[in-house]
Structure 1
Amino acid sequence: MSSILVIGGDRLGNIIEFLQERGFQEIHHVTGRKSSQTGVKIPTGTHMILVLTDYVNHNLAKTVKSQAKDRELPILFCKRSCSAIAKAFHMTA
């Protein structure tokens, strides 16, 4: 089972279906707007992290980036749109 952590965005809308079509059965989401969310831990079993840059607290993005590096997890940064996410996926393939 493939799992992704999405950071940012109040709602994911059609991004959930987009990620499911790419094989992610488990999608964890943290809105990332509030400064109180900077202590977020990456869930066990996460295979990739997606940070939606236009809807995220900068301190949270920095914390998650550091955790991803420590755990050697791929992390993508892009705007909140399916086309931007598709482009980011394509660039990593």
Structure 2
Amino acid sequence: MTALVIGADYLGGMEQKMRDMGITEIAHITGRNPGEVKRMHIPKAAAFVLVFTDYINHNMAKVVKSHAKAQSVPLVYAKRSWSAVEHKLVGLGL
């Protein structure tokens, strides 16, 4: 399963915990730089997009939402803490 993670400068130990839940490939975009908005795309194989709400600019959030809606990819918003992410991913069915 592939996931796109947007927000945060680095994922740290969260990346391994996501892999333990069955996510084999993780694409990451920091979401802080304005230039990333133009280059942002959701991989075709992405099962969902995880957005860290406390580490993303407003324009990126708007663009991600429209891309996810256009491609019918589930969008998950969470704070950058493993307990919040795990709760959201379990709710998604992982």
TM range (shorter): over 0.9
Shift of 1:44: 2.2
Aligned 1:1-93 pairs, distance under 5 A: 2-39=1-38, 40-93=40-93
- Measured against aligned partners, the alpha-carbon deviations of 1:5-51 in whole angstroms (never above 9, x if no partner) come to 00000010011011101111100000001111112111221111000
Shift of 1:91: 3.0
Aligned CA-pair RMSD: 1.0
d(CA) in 1 for partners of 2:87 and 2:48? 16
Q: Normalising to structure 1: TM-score of the pair?
A: 0.92
Percent of matched pairs sharing the same residue = 40
Counterpart of 1:9, as a letter, is A
- Unaligned segments of structure 1, at least 5 residues: none
Which consecutive segments of 4 or more residues in structure 1 shift more than 3 A? none
d(CA) in 2 for partners of 1:21 and 1:92? 16
Q: Normalising to structure 2: TM-score of the pair?
A: 0.91
